[in-house]
Amino acid sequence: MDVSDETQVETLFETTVSRLGTVDAVFNNAGIGGMAAAESYPLEDWQRIIDINLTGVFLVAKHALGHMKRQGSGSLINCASILGNVGQSMTAAYSAAKGGVVNLTRTLALEMAPHGVRVNTVSPAYIDTPLLRDLDEATLKALIALHPIGRLGRSEEVAKAVSFLASDDASFITGANLLVDGGFTAGKS
Ligand SMILES: NC(=O)c1ccc[n+]([C@@H]2O[C@H](COP(=O)([O-])OP(=O)(O)OC[C@H]3O[C@@H](n4cnc5c(N)ncnc54)[C@H](O)[C@@H]3O)[C@@H](O)[C@H]2O)c1
């Protein structure tokens, strides 16, 4: 399904509830990349990134949280990025969308806290996934050098943080922004 299409998102959750009964945990993870200088950023590309990376996160949240509120329980985890926490050249649309996700999460957490539903963000640094497949060797090396831990992250390292936030071990954590970044942002605040 396409997270930027509200009808499809609504159907996804209705189908889930009719087949499985409840929506216990949702990881709002869909996202795309895109790089261009701001002064020549094609509006069409900007719109597509905002549609998927920000509006898509909102639509999934909107429909997941409706079910969770009725249940009186649930955990939603939104995927942002280090680029929702610090700026980076050539990423106008992506960093704007991810910054939006970080603060949208805080607002959703406040709305849902009285209803037993938690909402948090994970903000990964560069993770070795197909999103980075098109980068040349030199760029990849430069990216690795930005991480004090000295390597890119692994998908399972993000998954473990998401599993924690989804679980009852995180029962007092809501509105948080968990950086899974190998120290990327530690020296930048
Ligand atoms: N890889 C990284 O370095 C990195 C760093 C920080 C944050 N992130 C974020 O992590 C998340 C996952 O990215 P990834 O690195 O695994 O990339 P990926 O390209 O491997 O996975 C992205 C997934 O999103 C799906 N998707 C794209 N558009 C969609 C749409 N309109 N509707 C539904 N699904 C859609 C794709 O099919 C794909 O399965 C994204 O939100 C990304 O911005 C990635």
Per residue in 123-174, pLDDT (tens digit) is 999 999 887 778 899 999 999 999 999 999 999 999 999 999 999 999 999 9
Please state which CATH class domain 7-181 belongs to.
Answer: alpha beta
The verdict on pTM exceeding 0.85 is yes
Known catalytic membership, residue 94: yes
List of residues 6+ apart from 25 with CB closer than 8 A:
74, 75, 76, 77, 166
Is there an atom of ligand 1 within 6 Å of 4 CB? Answer: yes
Return per-residue pLDDT of the chain as tens, 189 residues.
Answer: 999 999 999 999 999 999 999 999 999 999 999 999 999 999 999 999 999 999 999 999 999 999 999 999 999 999 999 999 999 999 999 999 999 999 999 999 999 999 999 999 999 999 998 877 788 999 999 999 999 999 999 999 999 999 999 999 999 999 999 999 999 999 986
Is there an atom of ligand 1 within 6 Å of 29 CB? Answer: yes
Partners of 121 in beta bridges: 78, 177
In a mutational test of the pocket of ligand 1, which residue from 4, 32, 47, 146 has the highest number of ligand atoms less than 8 Å from its CB? 32
